[in-house]
Structure 1
Amino acid sequence: MRTVNEEARRAKEIEIMEACFDCYAENGFTSVGVKTIAKTCDCSVATLYQYFDNLDDLIVKSTEYCMSKVEDDFMAKAPTDVDDLWRFIDEIPYWTAKKHGKKYRLMYQIYTHPKYREYGQKFFKGVDERYTEYAKSLEPKLGIPHEKLTPLIFILIRACVHYALFEDEFYLKSQIAVLKEALELFIMKYNLKARSGTFT
């Protein structure tokens, strides 16, 4: 069981990580130093190092934490049934680009940097696992096996992130069109079975 001090320390860590990530997202990864981060977090550099081993540790942990929160936001908007799918697919790319676009751009700057690439590999392995679990949670709602839903989720996420990075409507719309067609085929194949009780 966590003590009050542990909870307070964790709350402060989260506060620092969110402020750090937002600062980098707003100002650029290469143009912000540790003194600016400390000022943004309303603390001293020495205080930062009471919570994180060094600046690299802060960057890695803040990226992982904040991008996990982006995932939570994304998943909270999940469709509740088959009829809600189309609303979700049409709205989510524009919503997440507006709300999280700067964070996506920062994430790729960090995770493609040679110094942090191994952390990116670890993070995206976790993404694979989390989105598989997400697909499993959608399976009973949509009547489509999670093994079929998982790659479709990856297509949607990739389309959303690409749009957030580059505002490329052609790429987005072509990906979404294929995604919708695949979903329609899967709904025809699996959802009717689910409703009749023969889904396996």
Structure 2
Amino acid sequence: LVLKNGQCIEVQNIEAEILNIPFVQQVKVYAVEKQGRSVIVAVLRLHQQLSSSDLNAAYKRVLPQYLIPEQNYVVNNLQPFTAYLSAESLQHFIATHISIENTESQPVQSTAIEHVVTFIMAKIIGLPEQHTHGDLDFFDEGGDSLLATHLVAALNQYFINAEISVVDIFTQRNVTNICKLIEQKLPDTAQRIAEVFMQVIEGK
């Protein structure tokens, strides 16, 4: 039960409303006590990646403001949450995972990969590094099909088994999209490879 605005609301009712959102595959809602108040936490399995503002906008269409989850966590497997989850397990999950909101306010997830891809792309095109950013577009900045082959070789040299192709560069074009592709292909290792690469670049 969630106690909000003096009313007791079943979490199942909140879940049922959230399931009306097309991109939500599964959801579990919890009420977590934080500093004497009840915070609504949602663990979601989604059909597509979303920003917290998109998710919030969708919530507003199906839920009153006071029932909108304040913390949202996206998982690939909701199985552990469908059985009874103890308060300790839930607290541990919250402590060890980054919510969608925090991913954006402190972009931990993709920064190392974005730095690396930006760094490699800038070197290959011949751009000064301070000029670069996440939506750096390879072809808009002077890349061509020959340079694309160099970029592919460099990316695959560092992100082994990512198997990025020239076609990928033509279709994805910018740093953000190429990073997402690398993360999809190497979900377990891309971030770590990028962090090591960054340490080498920074001379640590």
Q: Same fold (TM over 0.5)?
A: no
| Structure with the larger helix share | 1
With normalisation by structure 1, the TM-score equals 0.26
Which one has a bigger Cα radius of gyration?
A: 2
RCO higher in structure (CA 8 A, sep ≥6)? 1
With normalisation by structure 2, the TM-score equals 0.26
| Structure with the larger strand share | 2
